[in-house]
Structure 1
Amino acid sequence: MSDLIVIVYPTEPKAEEVRNRLLELQKEYLITLGDAVIATKTEAGKIKLNQMVSTTAAGAISGSFWGLLIGVLFLNPLIGAAVGAASGAVGGALTDVGIDDNFMKDLAANIQPGNAALFVLVQSMTADKVLKDISHYGGVVLKTSLDETKEQVLRDALQKATS
């Protein structure tokens, strides 16, 4: 079962720094991430999501490969690749993996303009080591699906960094 953790940072670069550190910890097998998205709010109130993986780009690449293959079979590889890339990009744009985009936008509406919310879907982790590693970045817990005890440990660790 995965856990959702949402932490607000004062700037987008700070949230990006934490996300990059979590990705490094994943390479060290201390955490397994299902998704890690940064949501920011502009001065105009518009919410922007900075996804870890662009499904549109992945769909376009996959679609162009299959389109090229089909195009070769029908003796027109360029048209096949173009149609495949376009259909793959549309399919990728309509695909939502990980954390629901509408949920993230609704929750990010509560942050102040200029702040950034880091949404992390954690599949598994060595909690004590990960928490020790990221606690010095600070941040404020906005929402979690952790039990109350674990959530309080997270809040306390992040608060120590801001004190």
Structure 2
Amino acid sequence: MSDLVFIAFPSEEKAEEIRKRVLSMQKEYLIELGDAVVAVKNQDGQIKLNQLVNMAAAGAASGALWGTLIGFIFLMPLVGTALGAASGAIAGKFTDAGINDQFMRDAARELQPGTAGLFLLVRKMTVDKVLADLRGVGGTVMRTSFDETKESALREALAQCAKQAEPLASAPA
């Protein structure tokens, strides 16, 4: 069973940085993700989702390949490529893999304008090692489907940043 985590960050850059960190942990087999999406709320309140995979582009590429092959059979490869790419892009546009886009948009409405959030669909993880790597990165847990123990451990790991930054902020200039 997968768990969903939504963490708010002060900027899109910070959310992207943490997504890259989590994806590198996935390469080390510390975490297995189903999806990792950065949601950005601009100053006008509009939500933009930065998906890992652009499904429309992937569909267009696949459709172009198949369209070309079928076009060769009918001696019209350019027409086949164009029709395949168009139909693939349309199919990709309506395909939703991972976390439901509407759910992410609804949840991201809780963000302040000019901030961003990171949605993670976690299939499996080595909790102690992942939390140790996330310790001190900042961010606020907005929603999670973790049990209370994991959720409080995640909140504590992220909060370490605020506790460590306070002495620096209050030091005389």
Mapping of 1:27-66 within 5 angstroms? 27-66=27-66
Cα drift, residue 136 of structure 1: 1.9
Aligned to 2:162: 162
Aligned to 1:69: 69
Q: What one-letter code is carried by the residue in structure 1 that aligns with 2:6?
A: V
| Aligned Cα root-mean-square deviation (Å) | 0.6
Structure 1 segments of 4+ aligned residues over 4 angstroms from their partners: none
Residue 137 of structure 1 aligns to a residue whose secondary structure is: coil
Deviations 1:123-152 (A, max 9, x none): 111111111111221100000000111111
Q: Structure 2 CA distance, aligned partners of 1:139 and 1:67?
A: 46
- Runs of 5+ consecutive residues of structure 1 not aligned to the other structure: none
Contact 2:136–2:159 (Cα < 8 Å) also in 1: no
Aligned to 2:150: 150
Deviations 1:35-56 (A, max 9, x none): 0000011111110000011101
**Percent of aligned pairs sharing the same letter:** 59
Residue 141 of structure 1 aligns to a residue whose secondary structure is: strand
Q: What one-letter code is carried by the residue in structure 2 that aligns with 1:35?
A: D
Alignment TM-score, normalising by the size of structure 2 = 0.93
Q: Structure 2 CA distance, aligned partners of 1:122 and 1:24?
A: 14
Alignment TM-score, normalising by the size of structure 1 = 0.98
Higher CA-based Rg: 2
